[in-house]
Chains A and B, each alone.
Chain A
Amino acid sequence: MDEVRIIEIKKSVFDDNNADADKLRGELKEKGVFLLNLMSSPGSGKTSTLVRTINMVKDKLKVAVMEADIDSDVDAITIKEATGVESIQLHTGGMCHLDAEMTRQGLDNLPLSDIDLAILENVGNLVCPAEFDTGSCVNVMILSVPEGDDKPLKYPLMFSVCDLVLINKIDVLPYFDFDMEKCKENIHKRNPAAKVIPISAKTGEGIDQFAQWLQQQVAVWKA
Protein backbone atom coordinates (compact mmCIF):
# COMPACT_ATOMS: atom_id res chain seq x y z
CA MET A 1 0.00 0.00 0.00
CA ASP A 2 1.35 3.37 -0.98
CA GLU A 3 1.77 6.05 1.59
CA VAL A 4 -1.04 8.60 1.87
CA ARG A 5 -0.05 12.17 1.16
CA ILE A 6 -1.71 15.55 0.89
CA ILE A 7 -1.29 17.77 -2.17
CA GLU A 8 -2.28 21.39 -1.73
CA ILE A 9 -4.15 22.86 -4.72
CA LYS A 10 -5.86 26.08 -3.55
CA LYS A 11 -7.41 26.78 -6.92
CA SER A 12 -10.87 27.95 -7.91
CA VAL A 13 -12.97 25.27 -9.60
CA PHE A 14 -13.70 27.78 -12.36
CA ASP A 15 -10.00 28.36 -13.18
CA ASP A 16 -9.70 25.63 -15.82
CA ASN A 17 -12.93 26.67 -17.53
CA ASN A 18 -11.80 30.30 -17.52
CA ALA A 19 -8.52 29.27 -19.14
CA ASP A 20 -10.37 27.19 -21.79
CA ALA A 21 -12.66 30.16 -22.46
CA ASP A 22 -9.76 32.58 -22.92
CA LYS A 23 -8.07 30.15 -25.32
CA LEU A 24 -11.27 29.77 -27.34
CA ARG A 25 -11.72 33.58 -27.50
CA GLY A 26 -8.17 33.91 -28.82
CA GLU A 27 -8.84 31.36 -31.56
CA LEU A 28 -12.10 33.06 -32.54
CA LYS A 29 -10.30 36.41 -32.76
CA GLU A 30 -7.77 34.88 -35.13
CA LYS A 31 -10.52 33.38 -37.29
CA GLY A 32 -12.53 36.61 -37.28
CA VAL A 33 -15.58 34.94 -35.76
CA PHE A 34 -17.62 36.90 -33.20
CA LEU A 35 -19.36 34.73 -30.59
CA LEU A 36 -22.40 36.07 -28.76
CA ASN A 37 -23.70 34.25 -25.67
CA LEU A 38 -27.41 34.90 -25.16
CA MET A 39 -28.88 34.10 -21.76
CA SER A 40 -32.26 34.50 -20.04
CA SER A 41 -34.87 32.60 -18.08
CA PRO A 42 -37.10 30.18 -20.04
CA GLY A 43 -39.85 31.89 -22.00
CA SER A 44 -38.37 35.39 -22.07
CA GLY A 45 -38.22 35.36 -25.87
CA LYS A 46 -34.64 34.38 -26.80
CA THR A 47 -35.60 32.52 -29.96
CA SER A 48 -38.15 35.06 -31.24
CA THR A 49 -35.71 37.92 -30.55
CA LEU A 50 -33.04 36.06 -32.50
CA VAL A 51 -35.36 35.46 -35.46
CA ARG A 52 -36.17 39.19 -35.74
CA THR A 53 -32.55 40.24 -35.27
CA ILE A 54 -31.02 37.70 -37.65
CA ASN A 55 -33.48 38.66 -40.39
CA MET A 56 -32.32 42.25 -39.96
CA VAL A 57 -28.56 41.56 -40.15
CA LYS A 58 -28.25 38.46 -42.35
CA ASP A 59 -27.64 40.46 -45.54
CA LYS A 60 -24.63 42.15 -43.93
CA LEU A 61 -23.26 39.37 -41.73
CA LYS A 62 -22.91 35.63 -42.17
CA VAL A 63 -24.72 34.24 -39.14
CA ALA A 64 -24.96 30.78 -37.52
CA VAL A 65 -26.81 29.73 -34.38
CA MET A 66 -26.19 27.07 -31.73
CA GLU A 67 -29.26 26.25 -29.69
CA ALA A 68 -28.47 24.70 -26.32
CA ASP A 69 -31.24 22.85 -24.53
CA ILE A 70 -31.61 19.93 -22.20
CA ASP A 71 -33.77 18.20 -24.80
CA SER A 72 -35.62 18.59 -28.17
CA ASP A 73 -34.64 20.46 -31.33
CA VAL A 74 -37.65 22.80 -31.64
CA ASP A 75 -35.54 25.97 -31.31
CA ALA A 76 -32.99 24.95 -33.95
CA ILE A 77 -35.80 24.13 -36.38
CA THR A 78 -37.59 27.43 -35.64
CA ILE A 79 -34.42 29.43 -36.36
CA LYS A 80 -33.68 27.54 -39.58
CA GLU A 81 -37.22 27.85 -40.91
CA ALA A 82 -37.72 31.50 -39.94
CA THR A 83 -34.33 32.88 -41.00
CA GLY A 84 -32.68 30.35 -43.33
CA VAL A 85 -29.33 30.59 -41.50
CA GLU A 86 -27.29 27.60 -40.35
CA SER A 87 -28.65 26.39 -37.03
CA ILE A 88 -27.61 23.42 -34.92
CA GLN A 89 -28.97 21.95 -31.71
CA LEU A 90 -26.70 21.16 -28.77
CA HIS A 91 -27.94 18.87 -26.03
CA THR A 92 -26.48 19.44 -22.60
CA GLY A 93 -27.32 15.96 -21.29
CA GLY A 94 -29.31 17.30 -18.35
CA MET A 95 -26.88 20.08 -17.48
CA CYS A 96 -28.27 23.53 -16.81
CA HIS A 97 -25.56 25.52 -18.61
CA LEU A 98 -22.80 25.36 -21.22
CA ASP A 99 -19.12 25.64 -20.41
CA ALA A 100 -16.24 26.57 -22.73
CA GLU A 101 -15.52 22.95 -23.73
CA MET A 102 -19.14 22.27 -24.70
CA THR A 103 -19.21 25.54 -26.65
CA ARG A 104 -16.05 24.51 -28.50
CA GLN A 105 -17.65 21.18 -29.45
CA GLY A 106 -20.63 23.08 -30.84
CA LEU A 107 -18.42 25.47 -32.83
CA ASP A 108 -16.55 22.47 -34.31
CA ASN A 109 -19.79 21.59 -36.10
CA LEU A 110 -20.09 24.98 -37.80
CA PRO A 111 -18.31 26.11 -41.01
CA LEU A 112 -16.36 28.80 -39.11
CA SER A 113 -14.39 30.07 -42.12
CA ASP A 114 -17.71 31.22 -43.58
CA ILE A 115 -19.18 32.84 -40.45
CA ASP A 116 -18.94 36.38 -39.04
CA LEU A 117 -21.37 36.02 -36.16
CA ALA A 118 -21.96 32.81 -34.18
CA ILE A 119 -24.77 33.02 -31.66
CA LEU A 120 -25.01 30.67 -28.70
CA GLU A 121 -28.51 30.49 -27.24
CA ASN A 122 -27.70 29.24 -23.75
CA VAL A 123 -29.99 27.08 -21.60
CA GLY A 124 -32.90 29.12 -20.17
CA ASN A 125 -31.72 29.77 -16.63
CA LEU A 126 -30.62 32.88 -14.70
CA VAL A 127 -28.24 31.13 -12.29
CA CYS A 128 -25.73 28.63 -13.68
CA PRO A 129 -24.93 30.03 -17.15
CA ALA A 130 -23.62 33.17 -15.40
CA GLU A 131 -20.93 31.16 -13.62
CA PHE A 132 -19.36 29.53 -16.64
CA ASP A 133 -17.48 31.63 -19.19
CA THR A 134 -18.35 30.10 -22.59
CA GLY A 135 -15.53 31.83 -24.46
CA SER A 136 -17.97 34.35 -25.95
CA CYS A 137 -16.94 37.88 -27.00
CA VAL A 138 -20.02 39.42 -25.37
CA ASN A 139 -22.74 38.29 -23.00
CA VAL A 140 -26.25 39.48 -23.70
CA MET A 141 -29.25 38.69 -21.56
CA ILE A 142 -32.96 39.16 -22.01
CA LEU A 143 -35.25 40.17 -19.17
CA SER A 144 -38.92 40.19 -20.14
CA VAL A 145 -41.53 42.52 -18.67
CA PRO A 146 -43.71 39.79 -17.04
CA GLU A 147 -40.68 38.60 -15.02
CA GLY A 148 -40.62 41.89 -13.08
CA ASP A 149 -38.26 44.83 -12.56
CA ASP A 150 -36.77 43.30 -9.38
CA LYS A 151 -34.94 40.45 -11.12
CA PRO A 152 -31.55 42.24 -11.21
CA LEU A 153 -31.68 42.25 -7.41
CA LYS A 154 -32.55 38.57 -7.19
CA TYR A 155 -30.03 37.28 -9.74
CA PRO A 156 -27.13 39.72 -9.29
CA LEU A 157 -24.41 37.55 -10.86
CA MET A 158 -26.27 37.17 -14.16
CA PHE A 159 -26.73 40.93 -14.47
CA SER A 160 -23.15 41.64 -13.46
CA VAL A 161 -21.62 39.48 -16.25
CA CYS A 162 -23.71 41.01 -19.07
CA ASP A 163 -22.52 43.62 -21.55
CA LEU A 164 -26.06 44.27 -22.75
CA VAL A 165 -29.51 43.69 -21.23
CA LEU A 166 -32.48 43.55 -23.60
CA ILE A 167 -35.79 44.27 -21.87
CA ASN A 168 -38.26 42.31 -24.00
CA LYS A 169 -42.07 42.30 -24.36
CA ILE A 170 -42.41 46.06 -23.89
CA ASP A 171 -45.64 45.78 -25.94
CA VAL A 172 -47.33 44.39 -22.79
CA LEU A 173 -46.01 47.10 -20.43
CA PRO A 174 -49.53 48.60 -19.88
CA TYR A 175 -50.70 45.32 -18.33
CA PHE A 176 -47.89 44.86 -15.80
CA ASP A 177 -46.57 46.76 -12.78
CA PHE A 178 -43.17 47.01 -14.40
CA ASP A 179 -41.22 50.21 -13.75
CA MET A 180 -38.71 50.66 -16.59
CA GLU A 181 -36.65 53.33 -14.83
CA LYS A 182 -36.49 51.30 -11.62
CA CYS A 183 -35.42 48.25 -13.61
CA LYS A 184 -32.59 50.19 -15.28
CA GLU A 185 -31.57 51.52 -11.87
CA ASN A 186 -31.52 47.97 -10.46
CA ILE A 187 -29.40 46.75 -13.39
CA HIS A 188 -26.91 49.60 -13.02
CA LYS A 189 -26.61 49.01 -9.29
CA ARG A 190 -25.17 45.58 -10.11
CA ASN A 191 -23.39 46.55 -13.30
CA PRO A 192 -22.83 50.26 -14.01
CA ALA A 193 -21.34 49.47 -17.45
CA ALA A 194 -24.29 47.44 -18.79
CA LYS A 195 -26.10 48.86 -21.80
CA VAL A 196 -29.89 48.50 -21.74
CA ILE A 197 -32.17 48.35 -24.81
CA PRO A 198 -35.96 47.94 -24.44
CA ILE A 199 -37.38 45.78 -27.26
CA SER A 200 -40.42 43.89 -28.40
CA ALA A 201 -39.72 40.74 -30.40
CA LYS A 202 -43.46 40.73 -31.19
CA THR A 203 -43.76 44.21 -32.77
CA GLY A 204 -40.09 44.64 -33.70
CA GLU A 205 -39.66 47.82 -31.63
CA GLY A 206 -36.04 48.37 -30.57
CA ILE A 207 -34.69 45.42 -32.59
CA ASP A 208 -33.00 47.84 -35.02
CA GLN A 209 -31.04 49.32 -32.09
CA PHE A 210 -29.91 45.86 -31.00
CA ALA A 211 -28.98 44.93 -34.58
CA GLN A 212 -26.96 48.12 -34.92
CA TRP A 213 -25.13 47.50 -31.62
CA LEU A 214 -24.38 43.94 -32.72
CA GLN A 215 -22.97 45.00 -36.10
CA GLN A 216 -20.73 47.55 -34.38
CA GLN A 217 -19.43 44.90 -31.98
CA VAL A 218 -18.70 42.47 -34.82
CA ALA A 219 -16.91 45.19 -36.83
CA VAL A 220 -14.68 46.09 -33.86
CA TRP A 221 -13.89 42.40 -33.20
CA LYS A 222 -12.93 41.74 -36.82
CA ALA A 223 -10.90 44.93 -37.21
Chain B
Amino acid sequence: MHELGIVFHIIKQVKEVAKENDCSHISKVVMNIGEVSTIVPYYLEDCWKWAVEKEDMLKGCKLDIHIIDAVTHCDDCGCDYPTVQHAKICPECGSEHTWLLKGNEVEIKEIEVN
Protein backbone atom coordinates (compact mmCIF):
# COMPACT_ATOMS: atom_id res chain seq x y z
CA MET B 1 0.00 0.00 0.00
CA HIS B 2 2.77 2.48 -0.74
CA GLU B 3 0.42 4.00 -3.32
CA LEU B 4 -1.13 6.17 -0.60
CA GLY B 5 2.28 7.59 0.36
CA ILE B 6 3.01 8.20 -3.32
CA VAL B 7 -0.31 10.03 -3.71
CA PHE B 8 0.54 12.34 -0.78
CA HIS B 9 3.87 13.16 -2.42
CA ILE B 10 2.22 13.86 -5.79
CA ILE B 11 -0.34 16.16 -4.16
CA LYS B 12 2.36 18.06 -2.25
CA GLN B 13 4.41 18.64 -5.41
CA VAL B 14 1.58 19.65 -7.73
CA LYS B 15 0.20 22.07 -5.12
CA GLU B 16 3.60 23.76 -4.93
CA VAL B 17 3.78 24.08 -8.72
CA ALA B 18 0.23 25.45 -8.89
CA LYS B 19 1.00 28.04 -6.20
CA GLU B 20 4.19 29.14 -7.96
CA ASN B 21 2.09 29.71 -11.08
CA ASP B 22 -0.71 31.56 -9.23
CA CYS B 23 -3.32 28.92 -10.02
CA SER B 24 -6.22 28.24 -7.69
CA HIS B 25 -7.31 24.84 -8.94
CA ILE B 26 -5.77 21.75 -10.54
CA SER B 27 -8.18 19.85 -12.79
CA LYS B 28 -5.91 17.08 -14.07
CA VAL B 29 -2.57 15.45 -13.21
CA VAL B 30 -0.81 13.35 -15.85
CA MET B 31 1.59 10.68 -14.56
CA ASN B 32 4.17 8.49 -16.33
CA ILE B 33 4.23 5.16 -14.51
CA GLY B 34 6.77 2.50 -15.50
CA GLU B 35 5.62 -1.08 -15.90
CA VAL B 36 8.12 -2.30 -13.28
CA SER B 37 7.95 0.72 -10.97
CA THR B 38 6.07 -1.40 -8.36
CA ILE B 39 3.12 1.01 -8.56
CA VAL B 40 -0.26 -0.62 -9.10
CA PRO B 41 -2.23 1.89 -11.23
CA TYR B 42 -5.59 0.67 -9.92
CA TYR B 43 -4.53 1.26 -6.29
CA LEU B 44 -3.03 4.61 -7.19
CA GLU B 45 -6.33 5.73 -8.71
CA ASP B 46 -8.27 4.49 -5.71
CA CYS B 47 -6.04 6.37 -3.23
CA TRP B 48 -6.14 9.39 -5.51
CA LYS B 49 -9.95 9.62 -5.51
CA TRP B 50 -9.99 9.51 -1.73
CA ALA B 51 -7.11 11.95 -1.16
CA VAL B 52 -8.04 14.74 -3.62
CA GLU B 53 -11.44 15.26 -2.02
CA LYS B 54 -9.64 16.41 1.13
CA GLU B 55 -7.81 19.17 -0.78
CA ASP B 56 -9.65 22.35 -1.83
CA MET B 57 -7.18 22.97 -4.63
CA LEU B 58 -7.65 19.48 -6.09
CA LYS B 59 -11.39 18.80 -5.66
CA GLY B 60 -12.54 16.58 -8.56
CA CYS B 61 -9.02 16.50 -10.03
CA LYS B 62 -8.55 13.69 -12.54
CA LEU B 63 -5.54 11.38 -12.60
CA ASP B 64 -4.35 10.35 -16.03
CA ILE B 65 -1.85 7.47 -15.98
CA HIS B 66 0.44 6.76 -18.93
CA ILE B 67 2.12 3.35 -18.66
CA ILE B 68 5.75 3.22 -19.82
CA ASP B 69 6.78 -0.20 -21.16
CA ALA B 70 9.77 -1.70 -19.37
CA VAL B 71 12.79 -2.45 -21.56
CA THR B 72 16.07 -4.09 -20.48
CA HIS B 73 19.38 -3.77 -22.30
CA CYS B 74 21.94 -6.60 -22.55
CA ASP B 75 25.58 -5.49 -22.36
CA ASP B 76 26.89 -8.74 -23.85
CA CYS B 77 24.90 -9.02 -27.09
CA GLY B 78 23.61 -5.44 -27.23
CA CYS B 79 19.91 -6.29 -27.63
CA ASP B 80 16.94 -4.60 -25.94
CA TYR B 81 14.15 -6.88 -24.73
CA PRO B 82 10.84 -6.63 -22.81
CA THR B 83 11.60 -6.80 -19.06
CA VAL B 84 8.27 -8.16 -17.84
CA GLN B 85 8.55 -11.24 -20.05
CA HIS B 86 12.23 -12.10 -19.51
CA ALA B 87 13.36 -10.26 -16.33
CA LYS B 88 17.16 -10.26 -15.70
CA ILE B 89 18.21 -12.98 -18.16
CA CYS B 90 18.73 -11.94 -21.80
CA PRO B 91 16.45 -14.04 -24.07
CA GLU B 92 18.94 -13.73 -26.97
CA CYS B 93 22.20 -14.86 -25.37
CA GLY B 94 21.35 -15.95 -21.79
CA SER B 95 23.58 -13.28 -20.21
CA GLU B 96 22.89 -11.78 -16.77
CA HIS B 97 24.82 -8.59 -17.57
CA THR B 98 21.64 -6.63 -18.18
CA TRP B 99 20.19 -3.40 -16.92
CA LEU B 100 16.85 -1.62 -17.00
CA LEU B 101 16.68 0.93 -19.81
CA LYS B 102 13.23 2.28 -18.92
CA GLY B 103 10.10 1.26 -17.06
CA ASN B 104 10.94 2.38 -13.54
CA GLU B 105 9.37 5.85 -13.85
CA VAL B 106 7.12 7.39 -11.21
CA GLU B 107 6.99 10.79 -12.80
CA ILE B 108 4.61 13.73 -12.81
CA LYS B 109 4.41 14.62 -16.50
CA GLU B 110 2.19 17.66 -16.44
CA ILE B 111 -0.80 19.25 -14.76
CA GLU B 112 -3.85 21.03 -16.08
CA VAL B 113 -4.76 24.11 -14.08
CA ASN B 114 -7.30 26.92 -14.11
Listed in ascending order, the chain A residues whose CB lies under 8 Å from chain B are: 1-17, 94-97, 99, 127-128, 131-132, 157, 189
Q: Are A11 and B107 also in contact (CB < 8 A) when A16-B9, A95-B5, A128-B5 are?
A: yes
- Chain A residues near B24 (CB-CB < 8 A): 2
B112 at the interface (CB under 8 A from A): yes
Chain B 79-112: CB-based contact to A (< 8 A → 1; otherwise 0): 0000000000000000010000000011111111
- Chain B residues near A10 (CB-CB < 8 A): 107-110
Interface contacts beyond A17-B9, A189-B96: sample of 14 additional A-B pairs, CB < 8 Å, sorted by A: A2-B24, A4-B27, A5-B114, A6-B112, A7-B17, A9-B109, A9-B111, A12-B105, A13-B13, A13-B107, A16-B9, A16-B12, A96-B1, A128-B2
- Chain B residues near A12 (CB-CB < 8 A): 105-108
Q: Are A9 and B2 also in contact (CB < 8 A) when A16-B12, A131-B38, A189-B96 are?
A: no
B67 at the interface (CB under 8 A from A): no
Taken together as a complex, chains A and B put the C-alpha atoms of A11 and B17 apart, in Å, by 11
B68 at the interface (CB under 8 A from A): no
Q: Are A132 and B5 also in contact (CB < 8 A) when A9-B108, A10-B109, A13-B10 are?
A: yes
B65 at the interface (CB under 8 A from A): no
Taken together as a complex, chains A and B put the C-alpha atoms of A95 and B2 apart, in Å, by 7
B114 close to A96 (CB less than 8 A): no
Task: Name the residue of chain B whose CB is nearest to the CB of A9.
Answer: B108
Q: How many residues of B contact A (CB 8 A)?
A: 28
| Residue in contact with B109 in the complex, picked from A8, A14, A15, A99, CB distance below 8 Å | A8
B109 close to A5 (CB less than 8 A): no
B110 close to A9 (CB less than 8 A): yes
Taken together as a complex, chains A and B put the C-alpha atoms of A218 and B30 apart, in Å, by 43
| Residue in contact with A14 in the complex, picked from B4, B9, B17, B18, CB distance below 8 Å | B9
Taken together as a complex, chains A and B put the C-alpha atoms of A10 and B107 apart, in Å, by 6
A9 close to B38 (CB less than 8 A): no
| Residue in contact with A5 in the complex, picked from B9, B12, B14, B112, CB distance below 8 Å | B112
Task: Name the residue of chain A whose CB is nearest to the CB of B20.
Answer: A7
Q: Are A131 and B2 also in contact (CB < 8 A) when A7-B111, A10-B109, A13-B107 are?
A: yes
Task: Name the residue of chain A whose CB is nearest to the CB of B18.
Answer: A7
- Chain B residues near A127 (CB-CB < 8 A): 2, 38
